[in-house]
Structure 1
Amino acid sequence: MGLLDGKKLLITGVLTDGSIAFHVARLAQEQGAEVVLTSFGRQFRLTQAISRRLPLPAPVIQLDVTSDEDLAALADRVREHTDHLDGVVHSIGFAPQSVMGGNFLAAEWKDVSTAIEVSAYSLKSLAVAAKPLLGRGSSIVGLTFDGRFSWPVYDWMGVAKAALEGTSRYLARDLGPEGIRVNLVSAGPIRTTAAKSIPGVSRLEEGWPERAPLGWDIEDPEPTARAVAALLSDWFPATTGEMVHVDGGLHATGA
């Protein structure tokens, strides 16, 4: 019996087979879940192609989290493939390069607002759009990069992640009475396509494997995917508003 037997999941953010979300989808299927993916724009066909690399090809539906039209249509689009959801994975983040890479003081609000809308407010948008399909015992899990600290080159994306973490706590408060859990996984640096787009990202990675008590493999998304799968399962029935660190333990060290 798999950890996610019978679960029906909506997973965002699958772009390549190196994406954390791809490995969440793969692991979820291996553990017995049915998976529906989302994508939009020029990425849509790429996500469709990548979905065929999963153990079972997964349907892909249109969702731009900044589009009111797409959000309003989400439940109906999901219902074309399943009648309900047991879990949702938020693996969405974007910031213009002008707000990262040492540009904190020079960044302009129009670009900062894009980072916050796409990377943080979208968690609320996605949760509300999926809510008609979610019942008691369901789980929303997002991915973050510990927003409690300032990081080299991360700049306003770090602020957006802090906003994401705050958003998850308020969602946990407001959705908890309906039996919906909301949690985040804070992963260490992983060389995904999104990470490679951060100017100077190597400064984030430097020293992490040596400083983390358990060590850290920046090429391996599997530990993060396993944590997401666990939070989607029934094994955390009373956990919500939490941020689980999967970073080799670096968050617990002072130097």
Structure 2
Amino acid sequence: MVGILEGKNILVTGVLTDGSIAFHVARLAQEQGAKVVLTGFGRMSLVQRTARRLPDPTTPVIELDVTNEEHLASLADRVREHVDSIDGVLHAVAFAPATALGGNFLSTRWSDVSTAMQVSTYSLQALTVAAAPLMRDGGSVVGLDFDARVTWSSYDWMGVAKAGLESCSRYLARHLGHRGIRVNLVAAGPLNTVASRGIPGFAEFESVWDSRSPLGWKADDCEPVARACVALLSDWFPATTAEIVHVDGGFHGMGD
């Protein structure tokens, strides 16, 4: 059976360990026929070891700091060392200093807020613009979100950054639609990843989420979120852009 990403090239950011959402997207994309190029930041040796656990153990890894203008400016050329073009991008990048989380909302300094906003919000625009020259025949950009319609305990400025991410995705969809580039987000429920463990109190969401979600929720299972991302990266949503797809067991639709 031909996979839904057969013949496509996909750029995946944000892989660190094999427990990350991005890793599972990369794995499933390869299982569905895609050639994948990974980007890593900081702990590059760890990212390279993680890449060897993918179905294709020779998956290339390039360094990308989304706050580094030189990295962004050279991204297209460095990706071309491995593939001629790309058909999709996964944006799985987010970070906020500890002072911007954990109930510190009223005391967080702008320097820390600006870091959260640059890495977690502006980077979607920066990455998309850097990758767009590789998307000659259009394509799909998918970002990872956490529902920003409401506030979450301890999430603080990361919640604000995610709200910005949601708006940013819609403006990108507006400005890139004429080039056939779709931009969508997947709003996931809480998952046990390295990133989530850095958010104070995040683990407390798990039991509440499972009990209130009509379909239930498994915080140790990235597969449903990865499947949604891969579907959006494929040609199966050709007229969908500026959308937020909730993969959270239905939690977002429930009241009390």
Q: Which of the five TM-score ranges fits, normalised by the shorter chain? A: over 0.9
Q: Secondary structure at the match of 1:213?
A: coil
| 1:179-227 per-position Cα deviation (integer Å, ceiling 9, x unaligned) | 0000000000001000001112123334100000100000100000000
- Give the deviation of 1:32 after TM superposition: 0.2
Quick one: distance in 2 between partners of 1:155 and 1:206? 21
**TM-score, scaled relative to structure 2:** 0.98
In 2, are the aligned partners of 1:96 and 1:115 still within 8 Å (CA)?
yes
Quick one: distance in 2 between partners of 1:215 and 1:200? 20
Q: Secondary structure at the match of 2:106?
A: coil
Q: Cα RMSD (Å) of the superposition?
A: 0.8
What number of residue pairs does the alignment pair up? Answer: 254
Match of 2:51 in 1: 51
Quick one: distance in 1 between partners of 2:56 and 2:65? 24
**TM-score, scaled relative to structure 1:** 0.98
Q: Secondary structure at the match of 2:139?
A: strand
Q: Gaps spanning 5+ residues in structure 1: where? A: none
Equivalences for residues 103-182 of structure 1 within 5 A: 103-182=104-183
Equivalences for residues 195-234 of structure 1 within 5 A: 195-234=196-235
Match of 2:101 in 1: 100
Quick one: distance in 2 between partners of 1:31 and 1:250? 28
Quick one: distance in 1 between partners of 2:105 and 2:210? 27
- Give the deviation of 1:39 after TM superposition: 0.9
Q: Secondary structure at the match of 2:170?
A: helix
Quick one: distance in 2 between partners of 1:106 and 1:232? 39
Q: Which amino acid aligns with 2:194?
A: T
Q: Which amino acid aligns with 1:132?
A: P
Q: Gaps spanning 5+ residues in structure 2: where? A: none
Q: Which amino acid aligns with 1:164?
A: L
Q: Secondary structure at the match of 2:157?
A: helix
Quick one: distance in 2 between partners of 1:66 and 1:247? 30
Quick one: distance in 2 between partners of 1:173 and 1:135? 18
- Give the deviation of 1:232 after TM superposition: 0.3
Match of 2:37 in 1: 36
Q: Which amino acid aligns with 1:124?
A: Q
Quick one: distance in 2 between partners of 1:203 and 1:116? 25
| 1:146-172 per-position Cα deviation (integer Å, ceiling 9, x unaligned) | 111101111100000000000000000
Q: Which amino acid aligns with 2:81?
A: E
Quick one: distance in 1 between partners of 2:177 and 2:7? 22
Runs of 4+ in 1 over 4 A off after TM superposition: none
Quick one: distance in 2 between partners of 1:163 and 1:107? 17
| Percentage identity across paired residues of the two chains | 65
Q: Secondary structure at the match of 2:107?
A: coil
